[in-house]
Amino acid sequence: MIPFLHIGRLAIPTFGLMVAAAMVAAYFVLRADLRRRGYAERATQLAEAFIAIPCLAGIIGAKVYHVLETPRELWEHPARELFSQFGFAWFGGLIAGLGAFVWLARREKIPLLAILDGASPAAALGYGIGRIGCLLAGDGDYGIPTSLPWGMSFPNGLVPTDQRVHPTPIYEFLAACAIAWVLWRIGARQIAAARGAGRASRDERAAPADGIAAASGIVFAAYLILTGAARFLVEFIRINPRSFFGLTNAQAASAASVIAGVVIWLWARRRGRRAE
């Protein structure tokens, strides 16, 4: 594995490079989604804001959540724990990122569920690319030992192991790409339904934002369900410690994500039927 790229005395973490690549990829996907949803004139500006600010908030939230999970280590080594370039919790990033999304949506006067629908494929793809950073760094996100032919060892990783283990970041990357594609297709059907209901704009290439907003929530609900389910399943072969009922903290958060997604899905479907 390659935790760092060395250029002279400069050491560049590969995880950071992949996070940057994830942000760039998410930006282009979000911009394309905003354009097809009727925000063509502001797509570039909105995509920049809705990627940069929530990502920054998510990184801070992921770090804070991680250090609060181990308060004793934080108390003993506060500077090391707070400013280390390692140790980020997915659930903390999700909470902070969503909080930033809510604030931005209110500031830009965009219906929250509409922008969450548009951002869901970008978020799924960005998460998957970020996981490749975990693979390159060998930061302990790998799985339990395996005899499968694609098992990998991480002798030079940040959390080294000579055993052949499940390359769970690759599993999550493949799942994230598939989820992003499914969400994009769901969004396409959502937009087509809005057009078919007589809410098409004069520009046949883009549906009007108000028509799409009336049917919003489905894509975001699918995102919560699919990503939650994928993370819940992969945790069974991860090396994370178990907490209550034999589940990891990430599995508990994933179960909550799936439940929330189902609730939003049912609510959005009922809302859509009433609108029809």
Domain boundaries along the sequence of the chain: 4-271
d(CA 176, CA 126): 8
Lowest mean pLDDT among 31-40, 55-64, 74-83, 203-212: 203-212
pTM of the model: 0.85
Least confident of 71-75, 174-178, 253-257: 71-75
Contact 199, 207 (CB under 8 A): yes
Q: Is residue 81 predicted with pLDDT exceeding 70?
A: no
pLDDT, tens digit, 9 for 90 and up, residues 114-126: 899 999 999 999 9
- 3-state class (DSSP) for residue 155: coil
- Contact predicate 33/202, CB 8 Å: no
Q: Quick one: average pLDDT of 2-18? A: 86
Mean pLDDT for the chain overall: 85
Q: For residues 171 and 162, give the distance between their C-alpha atoms in angstroms, rounded to a whole number.
A: 20
Q: What is the mean pLDDT of residues 41-53?
A: 92
Average pLDDT over residues 227-232: 95
Q: What is the dihedral of CA 111, 116, 121, 122, to 10 degrees?
A: 100
Query: Is 169 within 8 Å of 238 (Cβ atoms)?
Result: no
Question: What integer is the mean pLDDT of 10-35?
Answer: 92
pLDDT of residue 62: 81
User: What pLDDT score does 7 carry?
Assistant: 86
**Res 178 pLDDT > 60:** yes
CA dihedral 230, 236, 238, 244 (to 10 degrees): 110
